[in-house]
Structure 1
Amino acid sequence: MKKTLLILFCLLIPLSLAHAQADLPLEGPLLAMNTVEQDRILLYDMARATYRELNFGNADHHVWDFSPDGCRILFTMAQGTGLAQLYSAKLDGSDMQQMVTYEEDAPGTWGVWEPDWSPQGPIAFTMIRYDGDERTTHIAWVPQAGGTPTFYSVTGSEYTPIWSPDGTWLLYVSYEDRIAGATVFATAVPTTEPLPGQTPPTLTTLNEADAWVVSADGETKYPLTSFPTGSVSMPRWSPDGDLVGFVFSPSGNNDTLWMIGTSPNSIPTQLSYQWHLVLDLTWLPDSSAMIGALRDFRETTPNRLWRVPLIGSADNDATLYLEELAMNYADYPRFSPDGRYLAMRSAYELLIVDLETRQTERLDELTLGNTPAIWSPAAFTGESACN
């Protein structure tokens, strides 16, 4: 009997230690992600190869970012179909704080989405507001300690705020209604026959977007792109801050890849011409090329990762990235701040590729999902260093 108990005790020791490691101070680098059920946030510690699970109540969890020092996570919580609210918390789940307060509208009529924490401290986000059935979206920001939002945009149809690498500029997209068929490049034909009971013709309009840039102090704002028709999406700063890559779609799901300089009146450069589907877009850490998760590209149907050069035509010159790993159904490529690792999804699994050794690690099944993993910033030196 004693021998049996001793054997069981020895078998249990490794499991107990492995579980306890999740409660030890995180060393990093860290990856933050949602569960499929959105009932938790997972922190994966690369140094220890362990997970920490954070649960903040019965609501949909969505993690978006880390604080500039990596000591806090930024996330939204939503109840059912309600609008999400923005919070931050320490890496152990303590000190949960609501980051946006707004008293001009009634509770439940406003919410926060797609926040981005600047390396300089402020948090930018898309603020959603409802006035009856009318829905507006504005780019806003709060200080790193949270508070009442200050608005960067006024038209009420803006999305996707992304801080520049140095935190001095904010990039976003702004939509407007355009008359279809207004130019030879039009993406739809306007209705020319009046509707019953109407005398003038009813013109078809399309809601299409361009990219805009605003300085962190709000003093300078200008359109980065000015396409007469079609929409800009997925704007991405190059790591050196000199360029912005983006997707231009002359019509729905017909995507092409472009880039543009960040100064006013820059001329955009088209990088691909044949229509395909772009699932996601990022830059190589050295800003030498973009990596796109592309579908129906170069006679390849499944979405694979492609290296898109900044000169020439991607239709001829793009090459499969990490081709030897044969990762089909690739999405959400994200490079670690030091450029050594690539986190990505392949058929919803979360993979980490060591770009030095070309070794691939498939994370636990609890990391399955359809959202990107978020890297802790370069400034993070371990949880023990956090105040």
Structure 2
Amino acid sequence: MQIGFPKFPLYVLFLWLAAAPVQAALDIEIFGGGATQIPIAIVPFAHEEKLGQSITSVVGADLQRSGLFKLVDPRGLAPHEPMEVVYPEWVSRGAGALVIGSTITLPGGNVAVRVGLLDVAKQVQLASYSETVPAGQLRAAAHRIADLIYEKLTGDVGVFSTRIAYVVKEGKKYALQVADADGFNAQSVIEYTEPIISPAWSPDGTQLAYVSFENKKPVVYVQTLATRTRKAVANFKGSNSAPAWSPDGKKLAVVLSLMGGSQIFLVNADGGGLQRLSQSSGIDTEPSFSPDGQSIIFTSDRGGSPQIYRMPITGRASGTAERLTFEGSYNVSPDYSRDGRSFTFIHRNGDRFNVAIQDLATRQVQLLTDSKFDESPSFAPNGRIILYATEVKGRGILSAVTSDGKTRQQLSTQAGDVREPAWGPLPRPQ
């Protein structure tokens, strides 16, 4: 949750528990699966056993986590080239698609990887892929292969090569961490003994905005990941919180109490050009930009209870807010889908706080989770999965749910309290 609801009964504002040291990867446990899954067999690549990292195991784990694929056991069959495939053998196993490939370790430590994706029923090759990578980057190559397979078989973009950000509480230390979408390769961006909240990715994935309490008050910083350099872009009198990037990366929406009460402002990415957006007697917070940058959705108690509103920020209607949520008395933390057709948020359902999704055209709401305390939902770039924080046995962990609610994942460190997740953008073409 964002800071900015001091009078609301938020259930988990800084609910950080003492924890053991943070681990470098997240454990992933998958629950359920889509009603219609693509049966796919992934044959271990030729000479893969000589590598320090299995490529096919990463590809399989990626596809399975999406909820759209069912892995078919390839044991006893080991084709590595299309001409080696005996299609009836795979038909009898129920495979609809087949992945084969090979690896060659080259002088100097690089690895040449070749992959083929085959349609078992039509007995044709759907795609091929090859690249040469350093041995230490085999996981990244595996994610790119999984993205290719996902795109070819679903028609949608894969998100396995993306990154996530989240905050971990370790004893009295708070660490803002960035990891691959599967939780591996976690690295701390910044660490302090004061809270860090609300990480937000820049559209190009090179920067993170976040709120730090290192100076005993909430200040919004923007940090460049490659250089670790950072700048305070909102350090005004009072509270500075809830940063959200505009789609072009030139501005941030921030929540300030500069003029009394929490209201939404625009500020340039370098900290200049302050402009007030919302004008209400209530608390306006947690902004999220529409993909076209023409409007924001946000949380406000202007109607007496926290609800989601939409407000144009350009044109004649600028500043006029429209209420979007009407089911229940508590709906917070909205995040626009990347296609702009829906948004995810936290909905109070009895004594539970659950991830929900609402279609903007039909206003239909669907609850996606049934846990006790969920917070901070964040869409994957393809809109198919939502990352969020929840609690298990009193400890904060990360979870994910598909946008249809059919597949859930728990992503948890071995120890520690994990909160405030944010899913990064698609990687830019090299």
TM-score under structure 1 length normalisation: 0.55
| Alpha-carbon distance, 1:71 to partner | 7.9
Query: 2:297 matched to which residue of 1?
Result: 245
> What is the identity, as a one-letter code, of the residue corresponding to 1:119?
P
| Alpha-carbon distance, 1:211 to partner | 0.8
Query: 1:360 matched to which residue of 2?
Result: 407
Q: Give the match's secondary structure for 2:382.
A: coil
Query: 1:339 matched to which residue of 2?
Result: 383
Query: 1:314 matched to which residue of 2?
Result: none
> What is the identity, as a one-letter code, of the residue corresponding to 2:273?
T
> What is the identity, as a one-letter code, of the residue corresponding to 1:339?
G
1:220-243 per-residue CA deviation (whole Å, 9 max, x = no partner) reads 22111011x221122122233332
Structure-2 separation of matches of 1:370 and 1:326: 18
Query: 2:265 matched to which residue of 1?
Result: 212
1:195-248 per-residue CA deviation (whole Å, 9 max, x = no partner) reads xxxxxxxxxxxxx20011112244422111011x22112212223333211111
Structure-2 separation of matches of 1:341 and 1:85: 25
- Count of residues in Structure 1 that have an aligned counterpart in Structure 2: 278
**Same amino acid, percent of matched pairs:** 19
Structure-2 separation of matches of 1:236 and 1:268: 14
Task: Say which of 197, 200, 208 aligns to 1:116.
Answer: 200
Query: 2:425 matched to which residue of 1?
Result: 377
> What is the identity, as a one-letter code, of the residue corresponding to 1:371?
R
> What is the identity, as a one-letter code, of the residue corresponding to 1:360?
T
- Does the alignment pair 1:174 with 2:256? yes
Structure-1 separation of matches of 2:254 and 2:418: 23
| Alpha-carbon distance, 1:355 to partner | 5.1
**Aligned 1:41-190 pairs, distance under 5 A:** 42-43=25-26, 47-49=59-61, 80-81=171-172, 84=174, 93=185, 113-120=197-204, 121-130=206-215, 135-144=216-225, 145-147=227-229, 149-176=231-258, 178=260
> What is the identity, as a one-letter code, of the residue corresponding to 1:283?
Y
Structure-2 separation of matches of 1:233 and 1:302: 22
Query: 1:283 matched to which residue of 2?
Result: 336
Query: 1:103 matched to which residue of 2?
Result: none
Structure-1 separation of matches of 2:171 and 2:338: 38
Q: Give the match's secondary structure for 2:308.
A: strand
Flag structure 1 segments of 5+ consecutive residues without an equivalent.
Answer: 1-33, 51-68, 101-106, 179-207, 312-316
- Does the alignment pair 1:232 with 2:290? no
Does the 8 Å contact 1:327/1:346 carry over to 2? no
Q: How large is the RMSD of aligned CA atoms in angstroms?
A: 4.6
Larger relative contact order (Cα-Cα within 8 Å, sequence gap ≥ 6): 2
Structure-1 separation of matches of 2:17 and 2:428: 23
Q: Give the match's secondary structure for 1:49.
A: helix
Does the 8 Å contact 2:166/2:177 carry over to 1? yes
> What is the identity, as a one-letter code, of the residue corresponding to 2:293?
G
Does the 8 Å contact 1:295/1:304 carry over to 2? yes
Query: 1:266 matched to which residue of 2?
Result: 319
Query: 2:308 matched to which residue of 1?
Result: 257
Does the 8 Å contact 1:174/1:210 carry over to 2? yes
Q: Give the match's secondary structure for 1:321.
A: strand
Q: Give the match's secondary structure for 1:136.
A: coil
> What is the identity, as a one-letter code, of the residue corresponding to 2:282?
G
Structure-2 separation of matches of 1:231 and 1:259: 14
Structure-1 separation of matches of 2:195 and 2:399: 32
TM-score under structure 2 length normalisation: 0.50
Structure-1 separation of matches of 2:162 and 2:357: 33
Query: 1:223 matched to which residue of 2?
Result: 276
- Does the alignment pair 1:320 with 2:365? yes
| Alpha-carbon distance, 1:174 to partner | 0.6
1:117-143 per-residue CA deviation (whole Å, 9 max, x = no partner) reads 42343432324344xxxx333223243
| Alpha-carbon distance, 1:159 to partner | 0.9
